[in-house]
Amino acid sequence: MAENSRVWNAEISAYLGEAGLANFSDLQRHLFNAPVIIYLTVERDVSPWMIYDMGAFSQSILLAAANEQVDTIPAYETAKYPDAVRKIVGIPENELLIGGIAMGYRSEGMINAFHSQRSSVASFLTIKH
Ligand SMILES: Cc1cc2nc3c(=O)[nH]c(=O)nc-3n(C[C@H](O)[C@H](O)[C@H](O)COP(=O)(O)O)c2cc1C
């Protein structure tokens, strides 16, 4: 597991406690009770640059939603069963499913007051002179 995921898991477990974690698992199973999920797809035969493009596009969706006071969760959970997603959403075979972004208005639940720690910029940025 990547270091940031490991830290995030440890932080959220400590924050929610056992009962809170069980609720969080339920929420994940119910796709965060989101009224809307955006699925990102791209044709299979595009250039590898699309990895950059899709990341930037996803980020733009998150920022545009935030600008409208709509909350978002890019989540593996939304695409965990890609065959089912493909069938329900109607994604053709020539398109890759990149992932899903759950959208909606946050509840007052404890999970929505959680703020993950941020790594210091110095821990991932190298400046060459
Ligand atoms: C590609 C990707 C997949 C993610 N999958 C999940 C997921 O399945 N379930 C979940 O609760 N959070 C998931 N997250 C994390 C949340 O979307 C969110 O980024 C995380 O709670 C950190 O939020 P913060 O940066 O505002 O603290 C995922 C994030 C990314 C970028």
User: Where are the chain's structural domains?
Assistant: 1-32, 34-109
Q: What is residue 118's predicted lDDT score, i.e. its pLDDT?
A: 87
pLDDT, average across residues 17-21? 92
122 vs 103: CA distance, rounded Å = 32
Q: What amino acid occupies position 28?
A: Q
Ligand 1 within 6 A of CB of 111? no
Is this prediction's pTM over 0.85? yes
From ligand 1's centre to the CA of 76, what distance in Å? 8
Mean pLDDT of the chain: 95
Ligand 1 within 6 A of CB of 71? no
Class of domain 34-109: alpha beta
Rg (CA), the chain: 17
Q: What is residue 81's predicted lDDT score, i.e. its pLDDT?
A: 97
Ligand 1 within 6 A of CB of 103? no
Q: Which helix (H) or strand (E) holds 28?
A: helix 3-29
Residue percentage of the chain with pLDDT more than 70: 99
